[in-house]
Amino acid sequence: MKAGQTILTLDISEQLFSLTTEALHLRSNATRSYQTLEDILADETDATTIADDLSLETLRDYRSAISSQGDVRISLSLSKPCVASLEDVRRLLSGLLDEELAMTDALSIVLFHFVVGQKAARILSRIGLNTADNTGVIGCCGKDRTNNVIPLR
């Protein structure tokens, strides 16, 4: 273990394990280099962005559809700032959802947010909308931030 690293051991569901591997697959292919969950978490764990991009309804629907705790044990070696950011996500979303979330829930939501963002970017690219040009107009989940309408014709 590197200095300044924390081992976070979590018992996650098979569904969340599948989400971790999908996120790693997407990130590794996007960067053309092997990635770790810490690489994804270091770049994607911004509590405010996640809360802005995902509606409370979407978060509740996701949480009811996907169980985060389960029988698959993983151990993550994370930097202390990364653990603190994940804790910030957990704390903020616990308050917004008015329920106590576990670290597995925070991990699940961060990875869900990342995967949805990657899939949305692919779709926008396929229909000819460059996502870099639309930053601030459409959030990672397609949430319209400016009330503008983007014509598809």
pLDDT digits (tens), the chain, 153 positions: 567 789 999 999 999 999 999 999 999 999 999 999 999 999 988 899 999 999 999 999 999 999 999 999 999 999 999 999 999 999 999 999 999 999 999 999 999 999 999 988 888 888 887 655 544 434 444 444 444 455 555
Helix (H) or strand (E) holding 77: strand 72-79
Q: Is there a contact between 15 and 66 (Cβ–Cβ < 8 Å)?
A: yes
Q: Is there a contact between 76 and 38 (Cβ–Cβ < 8 Å)?
A: yes
User: In the prediction, which pLDDT does 129 show?
Assistant: 78
User: In the prediction, which pLDDT does 137 show?
Assistant: 39
User: In the prediction, which pLDDT does 153 show?
Assistant: 54
Q: Is 145 helix (H, G, I), strand (E, B) or coil?
A: coil
